[in-house]
Amino acid sequence: MRVLITGGAGFIGSNLTRYFNDNAPDVEIRIIDDLSTGRLDNLDGLRAEFTEGSILDYELLSGLSEGVDSIVHLAAIGSVPRSVKAPRPTHAANITGTLNVLEAARERGVEHVVVASSSSVYGSNPSLPKSEFDWTRPMSPYGVSKHATEGYAIAYGFSYGMKTLAFRFFNVFGPGQPADHDYAAVIPKFLDAALSGRELIVHGDGLQSRDFTYVDTVCAAILEAVQRRVSSLDPINLAFGTNTTLLELIEQLELTLNSPLSVEHVDRRVGDVRASQSDGVRIREIFPNVQPLPLAEGLERTANWFKQKRGVL
- pTM across the whole model: 0.95
The predicted-structure confidence for 29-77, as pLDDT tens digits, reads as follows 999 999 999 999 999 999 999 999 999 999 999 999 999 999 999 999 9
- What is the domain class of 186-208+242-277+293-310 according to CATH? alpha beta
Superfamily, domain 2-173+213-240+282-286: NAD(P)-binding Rossmann-like Domain (3.40.50.720)
Report how far apart, in Å, the C-alpha atoms of 294 and of each of 16, 95, 173 are. Answer: 19, 33, 12
Residue ranges per structural domain of the chain: 2-173+213-240+282-286, 186-208+242-277+293-310
Q: Rounded to 5 degrees, what angle do the CA atoms 30, 54, 272 make?
A: 105
- What whole-number distance in Å separates Cα of residue 125 and Cα of residue 137? 6
Residue 230 has a pLDDT of 98
Residues 111/68, Cβ–Cβ less than 8 Å: no
**Under 8 Å between Cβ of 285 and 160:** no
**pLDDT band of 212, cuts 50, 70, 90:** very high
DSSP conformation class of 268: P
- Give the contacts of 258 (CB within 8 A, at least 6 positions apart): none
- 243 and 174 Cβ atoms separated by less than 8 Å: no
Query: Helices 186-195 & 246-257, crossing angle to 10 degrees?
Result: 40
For 145-185, the pLDDT digits (tens) are: 999 999 999 999 999 999 999 999 999 999 999 988 777 79
CB 267 within 8 A of CB 201: no
User: Would you state the torsion angle of the CA atoms of residues 153, 154, 160, 164, taken in this order, to the nearest 10 degrees?
Assistant: 60
- Which pLDDT score is estimated for 313? 63
Task: List, in sequence order, the alpha helices (H) in the chain.
Answer: 11-23, 58-65, 80-85, 87-91, 97-108, 141-160, 186-195, 215-228, 246-257, 281-286, 295-310
pLDDT in tens, 127-137: 999 999 999 99
- Gap between the Cα atoms of 93 and 241, Å rounded: 30
Average of per-residue pLDDT across 234-255: 96
Cα–Cα–Cα angle for 211, 217, 219, rounded to 5 degrees? 125
